[in-house]
Amino acid sequence: MIAQVTAPRLGVCYYPEQWPREWWADDARRMREMGLSQVRIGEFAWSRIEPERGRFDWAWLDEAIEVLAEAGLAVVMCTPTATPPKWLIDRMPDMIAIDAMGRPRRFGSRRHYCFSHEGYRAESRRITRAVAERYGAHPAVIAWQTDNEYGCHDTTLSWSVAALKSFRSWLVNRYKDIGALNAAWGNAFWSMEYGSFEEIDLPNLTVTEPNPAHVLEFRRFSSHQVVTFNEAQCRILREYSPGRTLTHNFMGFVTDFDHHEVSRDLDVASWDSYPLGFLEQFWFTTDQKLRYARQGHPDIAAFHHDLYRGVGRGRWWVMEQQPGPVNWARFNPSPLPGMIRLWTLEAIAHGAEVVSYFRWRQTPFAQEQMHAGLLRPDRKDDVAADEVRRVVADLQSLPDECVDTQRSTVKAEVALVFDYDAEWITQIQPQGAGESTLRTAFEWYSALRSLGLDVDVLPSSADLSLYKVVVIPCSPIVSESFAAQLRAISAHVLIGPRSGSKTSHFAIPWELPPGNLQSLIPIKVIRVESLREGMIEPGRHFNVHRWLEHVETSLVPEWVLMSGRGVLYRHQNVRYLAAALDDTSTRQLMKTLTQEAGLHLCDLSEGLRLRRLGDLRFAFNYSTHTLSINDVLPSNARVLRGAVTLAPAEVAIWIE
């Protein structure tokens, strides 16, 4: 029987196969000394576990697990399928993925497999069974991670022969009749009609854009391939390793497959948090990239914590936490001193059961030699090691019942709806450069958080009945059940532009957007326009940019542009926003909405963020200057960590 530990745990990612055996015991001892209690191993170790097909070398891994276990560390074991070894590629060369340009994604790094290749799927089950049989019942093994970061390096979509074959049978299953597919996709357009399912290709390498209905189906199919690939591993792990927690380490800002669907087969969602790398690689403005270069945008980590709490149906971990500069972004600054601690405490404040650092020691060789660890390559402590020790002291100072991960996570009063297929739709048909559901969701989330609010990020299928405010940044396809749920709830609802704008076959609904949402609010979107950067449509107290819809309605608009065009409409508890607002205006709208719903707001200074966990309240300073939290600290607060003035990267924790 494995004891249920409910206090948050700290862990680390470790690669015994990359270090001399003589170091293992000392590493394990130092991990314990630092306050770590679990170690993730094995996700890239296939070539060492099985150097030739069918010849397994378990001795080293047996020993590594024993060494870790003896030191009192729990082990998170992985299936090594993200790195199929060379002998396997040589045996079935067509198992590698093909990119959208038709080029093979060759051996020599990782994730060089196609989710649709039946031979590789069988190999994935075979190696999973072998590892699970060997270690499934080991008392130190408390959890399993499947594969590693599905979708990383753009690997969800593969344009291979195997994918084509499976895509066709998936379509047969879905449509049964080719006439039905032609009708659903609108293939009368440009003479795209097919005579049989065998004629359908993957939607790449077309002269101009392929039919968006075709692409959407390919995206759904590709997502399904990830789900079933993962499910097959989970089934084996459950058989050989009963009672252990199953997880997968999802990524930041990666949306190429439906994470909720994958997560259905898992017990816990985990994700890999690299706030500085993400800030550098994604859509943030130069100003934000400079301002938060060493801290990360204050909502990057939090957004994902709240997203993955939803994906994990309440249970989630950070599997990899950035420990210092990384190697893979365009620029890789060092975090401000204190940020590793701040990021860890922020995760715990959002209800993380585990925060695990990537990686134990910086490796002096191969691709990630410029990526920091908790230790330097010379085995001395790196900067993060002391920050981890500080976190351990922080956790010890908090009352146990407040950080009980099974009980303390509070339900937020605001729900933000985000579905993965909504992002696929804006990617397939942006209609304005850079338009993205994910980006809009992040901007709305950020506006809400800057008002001191906690937010749950949920799919449209979630139960929304207990929320006071429900915001829907962009839901192009609205299922009948989602529309029915929205009609039934009494929350203040804000629906964003493009919602209800597509049928499930990627067409404009006959009744015009917002389609079935017209049962909630009587408006019709009769035209949309996208605005290039710098094109601003001013209102009296707000600004529209990027996206503007023309609306036909008998409702009197609440917000009107100087041009006279309405952009915000309200009917009973439901509002429809027919435009994209700049950050200041978004914040203003969120303020109106949440104030009306009676929520308690704080006007936080730039870079300050709050979060509630049980009876605890956390404040985080993401700015580069000292901030006062006087305005948010109630007079009866019992401060446990930090002080009224918060230096950059400092955290305050109090009980109200």
Angstrom CA distances, 485 to 119, 423, 475, 480, stand at: 43, 21, 14, 9
Report the residue number, 358 or 506, with the smaller CB distance to ligand GAL.
358
Separation of alpha carbons 516 and 519, rounded Å: 6
56 vs 107, beta carbon nearer ligand GAL: 107
Burial of 15-43, coded b for 16+ CB within 10 Å and e otherwise, reads bbebbeeeebeebbebbeebbbbbbbbbb
Q: Which is nearer to ligand GAL, 18 or 624 (CB)?
A: 18
Tokens of 289: 């990239």
Smallest gap from Cβ 146 to ligand GAL, in A, equals: 13
526 and 550 in contact (C-beta within 8 Å)? yes
Q: Is the peptide bond before 359 cis (omega within 30 degrees of 0)?
A: yes
Instruction: Identify which of residues 56 and 328 has a Cβ nearer to ligand GAL in the complex.
Output: 328
Q: How many residues does the chain have?
A: 656
Q: How far is the CB of 327 from ligand GAL (least distance, A)?
A: 7
Minimum gap (Å) between residue 316 Cβ and ligand GAL:
16
On whether the CB atoms of residues 410 and 417 are closer than 8 A, the answer is no
- Residue with Cβ nearer ligand GAL (66 or 368): 368
Of the listed 320, 387, 443, 650, which one is catalytic? 320
Q: Cβ 221 to ligand GAL, closest distance in Å?
A: 25
> Is-catalytic flag, 533?
no
Name 442's Cβ contacts closer than 8 Å, sequence gap at least 6: 299, 303
Tokens of 225: 């391939």
Amino acid identity of residue 573, one-letter, is: N
Question: Could you tell me the CA-to-CA distances from 482 to 29, 513, 525 in Å, in that order?
Answer: 52, 16, 20
HSE (CB half, 13 Å, CA atoms) of 553? 27
Please identify which residue in the block is written with the tokens 């710098």: 534
Q: Say if residues 509 and 503 touch (Cβ distance below 8 Å).
A: yes
Q: State in angstroms the smallest separation of the CB of 607 from ligand GAL.
A: 24
C-alpha 317/C-alpha 321 separation (Å) is 10
The DSSP result for 126-138, as a single string, is: HHHHHHHHHHTT-
Interface residues with ligand GAL (CB under 6 A) are: 148-149, 152, 272, 274, 320, 326, 328, 358, 368, 371
What's the closest the beta carbon of residue 376 comes to ligand GAL, in angstroms?
16
Task: Tell me whether residue 15 or residue 444 sits nearer to ligand GAL (CB atom).
Answer: 15
CB atoms under 10 Å from CB of 339, counted, come to 25
Q: Which of 123, 149, 280, 537 is catalytic?
A: 149
* Nearest distance in Å: CB 78, ligand GAL: 10
198 catalytically annotated: no
252 vs 459, beta carbon nearer ligand GAL: 252
Inter-residue contact 157 to 262 (CB < 8 Å): no
DSSP states along 603-650: -PPTTEEEEEETTEEEEEE-SSS-EE-TTTS-TT-EEEES-SEE-TT-
Cβ distance to ligand GAL smaller for residue 240 or 308: 308
The CA radius of gyration of the chain, in Å to the nearest whole number, is 25
Determine the 3-state secondary structure of 357 from DSSP.
Answer: strand
Q: At its nearest, how many Å lie between ligand GAL and the CB of residue 444?
A: 26
Task: Please say which residue, 387 or 435, places its beta carbon nearer to ligand GAL.
Answer: 387
Minimum distance between the CB of residue 357 and ligand GAL, rounded to whole angstroms?
11
CA angle 68, 73, 78 (to 5 degrees): 75
Find the shortest distance in angstroms from Cβ 251 to ligand GAL: 6
- Whole-number Å distance between alpha carbons of 207 and 14: 47
Q: Which residues have a Cβ under 8 Å from the Cβ of 324 and sit 6 or more positions away?
A: 334, 335, 340, 372, 373, 382, 383, 384
Residue (121 or 359) nearer to ligand GAL, CB? 359
Q: How far is the CB of 194 from ligand GAL (least distance, A)?
A: 39
Task: Return the number of the residue (24 or 150) whose C-beta is nearest ligand GAL.
Answer: 150
Q: Report d(CA 262, CA 242) in Å as an integer.
A: 19
Positive or negative torsion for Cα 11, 15, 20, 21 = positive
**Are 641 and 653 a contacting pair, CB within 8 Å?**
yes
Q: Which residues contact 185 (CB under 8 A, 6 or more apart)?
A: 192, 211, 213, 214, 217, 505, 506
Active-site residue list:
149, 320
